[in-house]
Structure 1
Amino acid sequence: MEGNTAWLLTSSALVLLMTPGLALFYGGMVRSKSVLNMLMMCFGSMGLIGVLWVIYGYSMTYGTDIGYFVGNPLDYLGLSGLMTPEGDPTEGTVDVAFQAMFAIITVALIAGAVADRMKFGAWLLFAGLWATLVYFPVAHWVWGGGWIEEIGALDFAGGTAVHTNAGAAALGLVLVLGKRAGWPKEPMKPHNLPFVMLGAALLWFGWFGFNAGSAYAADGVAGIAFINTVTATCAAMLGWLLLEKIRDGKPTSLGAASGVVAGLVAITPACAYVDTWGALAIGAIAGAACAAAVGLKYRFGYDDSLDVVGVHLVGGLIGTVMLGFVATASVVPDGEGTNGLFYGGSIDLVGIQVLSVVGTMVYSAVVAAILGLIVKGVTGGRVSTEDEVSGIDEAEHAESAYDFAGGRSGRAASVDTGAASSTKQMEDSTS
């Protein structure tokens, strides 16, 4: 038990690291005048969702089932009855900690879709409402005894609850919030590709806690999830780069980093249910498909700033649905696994997987759009066009990420100016 507890605590820390990694990944992809706001949206999610999770989020996810839709929010209100060192820690405080990190990063994922234009306060309001009305119930559907778990759908670490959920919410929100000023006519290139690569590396590192940690034990299942996470991600990176080479003539660092994330997304629901061939297939298909899908926003006219829809929604769909074809009971202990269609199983599993992912997608997108309209009505939703053009960092946070002029911005500049003025007055009075 002690070894399992140690692994789950380590995994929790690894998953928490993924959100700062995501902040760097997203931050490098935006323009220099928006990078601090992007970082703050991710870090803001950590603070807000961390608080909501311990007050009622865990209870809504794992409390007594209510109509296969949500857990009873009063069962563990404020973690009542859980803050004790007794009993199995994987069913108590350690489980609370591990699952908190999933809730945090799921919300943070959505932020990339609305980069450059959403007010920070509006983002926090949306994030809190969406977590309450969508993430906590959907996590209950998948892991807490809800309808997705009841119909026998497979989702080891969050293909539906995390990635499809966040990707669909991103689509619903951007349709309501509207396009960035100048999009798609003006170039909006990533301002710091080394940040993007570093962020992708941190995400990959933390994802081992995300996937292998979901075994809830330091055992062979965790090992299978770990190696499949490596395998599929490598294949996805190559798949993305190959499509870039064929389509654009050049493989790019942005493509490599994006391919890594696409592979991680797609293998998440499948990592403990497939063999090596299944992992390779999921990764390669997801890498190429997500590379193609990021162009859909230009065809359909929705401004998903950092391709949350193209990577997380599409990648989550691919990984979840492909399980219906490539799942194999051979990797699941005690013969409790399910075979996909290509391994002698029934087509029924394909239908179950499709139902689970489509149900999640529709619910999340619709509620996100409604919440977006509410937040827009209350707060205005987005900064003014003038502030967007001049830079959302200064407008929302009174700071800038880079000191090109040799001065300092925001509150620090005010403090320095005040100090200099006081010094000057003292010199004048003594002269």
Structure 2
Amino acid sequence: MFCGVTAALVTGAVAERGRVLPAMVFIFFWATIVYCPLACWVWNIHGWAFNYGVLDYAGGGPVEIGSGMSALAYSWILGRRHEKMMLNFRPHNVSLVTLGTVLLWFGWLGFNGGSSFGANLRATIACWNSCLTAMFAAMTWCLLDFRLAKKWSMVGWCSGTISGLVAATPASGFIPPWASIVLGVVTGVCCNFATKVKFLVRIDDSLDVFAEHAVGGMVGLIFNALFGANYIIGLDGVNNGVYPGGWVDHHYAQLYIQVAYIVATSAYSFVMSAIIAKLIDLVPGLHLRASEEAELMGMDDDQLGEFAYDYVEVRRDFLAWTPVKEEPIPGGHRFVPQHGIEELQNLANTNGHSPPASPPAEVEQEKVGASVRAPAKEQAVESAADESTANSIPVSRDSS
């Protein structure tokens, strides 16, 4: 299940520009070559990280850093989205974002609490730490966004919540509750500012998987070195005195152990994922990137042929519903579909070619009026107007 969750995070890199089949092929090889070794390193008794003394409770390395760095590598190989096609991009549905975050939070308690392998006090602390970290990270993220937009963003709240849960993944079973509050604040700050990294490196990480998951996982692992407490670890009734803890237990060597683990998992995940993605992209028929026309029309149309809502995702603008009319109507007015994005308008009008130039007066006329939105409705209105005019003329009873 952890592997499935991590794979789902990685596929966030393909948003709006990647093909489905090559992504599925990539995930198969990625799970075998990248995820499984990462999990073995830290959770198998023969893994080097396990024997090295790394503190990683529920997947800061395999799940969080593995997904974040792999998504960054996949995005790099896939290439950036065309900026001219992203003029009106916005959150698709804030209600669904919120609902998904709530469901994730609920599932995360099983994710982190269940990693103690029993209904014990350590599981209770892990769930409590997860909630504390998530809530304080959400508040921090909202405050940071508020300083810029002067608005209380629900999407920002959800982003902060997820980043806090990510940081709690490696740390919730090792640190005391008071340290989880500090972890939430630090994670909210680090992950919020990490969303700017993709602009610096010019890698289009569509869903900020690197910023929230990789960076959040790194912060959680560092906190294990600083605030890991052996009495928290021993609450499961099994690991009493097995782990020395972190700085709060005067085990200062834990810091470079955690840093070495972070560097190893980050490098391995990024390099191997990039190699796998590039090799798959070279296979005929398995190119990762969809065509430019497919990117214009949207992945729903090109890859799935299905839409979440009737007509909404077909054009995203009701002005584009007007069918193409190559011949002008008798009055000399040419119907041209209008769309918020010029490239989509050209694609809808003339199959990707620029429409013929129109006189300025006609262009202005096309921008307004029912004729642009729905010719059939305009004809119905004109017919009704003609009928109304005819009815207003006095006629004899015999004529009527």
Task: Give the TM-score normalised by structure 1.
Answer: 0.69
> How far apart are the structure 1 equivalents of 2:275 and 2:15?
19
How far does residue 187 in structure 1 lie from its aligned partner after superposition? 4.2
1:232 corresponds to which of 133, 137, 144: 133
> Which protein has greater RCO, CA pairs closer than 8 Å, 6+ apart?
1
- Aligned pair count reads 306
- 1:84 corresponds in structure 2 to none
Provide the secondary structure at the position in 1 that maps to 2:83: coil
Indicate which of 152, 156, 170 corresponds to 2:57.
156
Change (3 A) 1:176 1:152: same
CA contact (8 A) 2:307 2:313 kept: no
Q: Aligned to 2:266, which of 361, 377, 382? A: 361
**Which residue type is aligned with residue 282 of structure 2?**
G
Larger Rg: 2
Partner of 1:283: 184
Q: How far apart are the structure 1 equivalents of 2:295 and 2:31? A: 27
Aligned residues of 1:167 and 1:308 also touching (Cα < 8 A): yes
CA contact (8 A) 1:170 1:308 kept: yes
TM-fit CA distance, 1:375: 1.5
Q: What per-residue deviation string (whole Å, max 9, x for no partner) do you get for residues 70-128 of structure 1? A: xxxxxxxxxxxxxxxxxxxxxxxxxxxxxxx1010011111112211111001101100
Question: Residues 287-338 of structure 1: CA distance to partner in whole angstroms, max 9, x if unpaired?
Answer: 1211111122122211000100110011011101121111112212223343
- State the one-letter code of the partner of 1:340: G
How far did 1:406 drift?
Answer: 12
Contact 2:140 2:188 in 1 (8 A): yes
Distance 1:406 1:396 in 2: 13
Q: Is 2:244–2:251's contact at 8 Å kept on the other side of the alignment? A: no
How far is the alpha carbon of 1:405 from its aligned partner? 7.3
- Residue number in structure 2 paired with 1:323: 224
Aligned-partner Cα distance in 1 for 2:149–2:219:
24
Q: CA deviation at 1:185?
A: 6.4
Q: Residues of 1 paired with 2:40 and 2:228: CA distance? A: 23
Structure 1 alignment gaps of length 5 or more: 1-100, 408-431
Deviations 1:110-155 (A, max 9, x none): 1112211111001101100100100011111111131111100001
Query: 1:340 aligned to 235, 241, 246, which one?
Result: 246
Counterpart CA distance in 2 for 1:192 and 1:353 is 38
What amino acid is aligned across from residue 269 of structure 1 in structure 2?
A: P
Distance 1:332 1:398 in 2: 50
Contact 2:228 2:246 in 1 (8 A): yes
User: Which amino acid in 2 is paired with 1:262?
Assistant: S
> CA offsets per residue over residues 23-50 of structure 1, 9 Å max, x none?
xxxxxxxxxxxxxxxxxxxxxxxxxxxx
Q: What displacement does 1:258 show?
A: 0.5
Deviations 1:313-371 (A, max 9, x none): 11011101121111112212223343322x14232100000111110010010011101
Call closer, same or farther: CA 1:174–1:406 in 2, change over 3 Å: closer
Once residues 198 and 321 of structure 1 are traced to their aligned partners in structure 2, the CA distance between those partners, rounded to angstroms, is 30
Question: Are the counterparts in 2 of residues 330 and 337 from structure 1 also a CA contact under 8 Å?
Answer: no
TM-score between the two structures when normalised by the length of structure 2: 0.74
Are 1:184 and 1:298, in contact at CA under 8 Å, matched by a contact in 2? no
CA offset at residue 386 of structure 1?
0.5
- The amino acid that maps onto 1:137 is P
Retained in 1: the 8 A contact 2:70–2:270? yes
Structure 1 stretch displaced more, 354-363 or 239-248: 239-248
Contact 2:183 2:223 in 1 (8 A): yes
Paired amino acid for 1:394: D
1:382 to 2:283 alignment: no
How far residue 184 of structure 1 moved from its aligned partner, in angstroms, is 8.9
Please say if 1:394 is aligned against 2:301. yes
| Inter-partner Cα distance in structure 2 for 1:246 and 1:398 | 41
Rounded Cα–Cα distance in structure 2 between residues aligned with 1:170 and 1:319: 19
Aligned partner of 1:128 in structure 2 is: 28
Q: Which residue of 1 aligns with 2:384?
A: none
> Separation in 1 of the partners of 2:13 and 2:74?
8
Question: Kindly tell me: are residues 219 and 398 of structure 1, through their superposed partners in 2, closer, same or farther at Cα, counting changes over 3 Å?
Answer: same
Preserved CA contact (<8 Å) 1:164 1:360: yes
User: Which residue does 1:254 correspond to in 2?
Assistant: 155
1:109 counterpart (2, 6, 9): 9
1:350 aligns with 2:248: no
Q: 1:222 to 1:383 in 2, by over 3 A?
A: same
What SS does the corresponding residue of 2:204 show, helix, strand or coil?
coil
Partner SS, residue 91 of structure 2? coil
Over the matched positions of the two proteins, sequence identity in percent amounts to 37
AA partner of residue 383 (structure 1):
A
Of residues 87, 90, 114, the one that matches 1:186 is 87
After TM superposition, the structure 1 stretch with the greater mean CA deviation from structure 2, 228-237 or 184-193, is: 184-193
SS at match of 1:269: helix
Question: In the TM superposition, what is the alpha-carbon distance from 1:180 to its structure 2 partner?
Answer: 1.0
Please give the per-residue CA displacement for 1:175-211, whole angstroms capped at 9, x wherever unaligned. Answer: 1110012279634211111111111111100001100
Point out the structure with the larger helix share: 1
Are 2:198 and 1:297 equivalent residues in the alignment? Answer: yes
The alpha carbon displacement at 1:404 in A equals: 2.8
- Residues in 1 aligned to 2:144 and 2:214: alpha-carbon distance in whole angstroms: 19
Question: What is the DSSP-based 3-state SS (H/G/I as helix, E as strand, rest coil) of the residue aligned with 2:171?
Answer: coil
Q: 1:166 aligns to what? A: 67
- Tell me by how many angstroms 1:376 deviates: 1.1
Distance 2:104 2:313 in 1: 33
Deviations 1:239-279 (A, max 9, x none): 11111112332220110001110000001111111111111
Gaps of 5+ in 2: 235-239, 315-400
Amino acid at match of 2:87: E
Structure-1 residue corresponding to 2:116 = 215
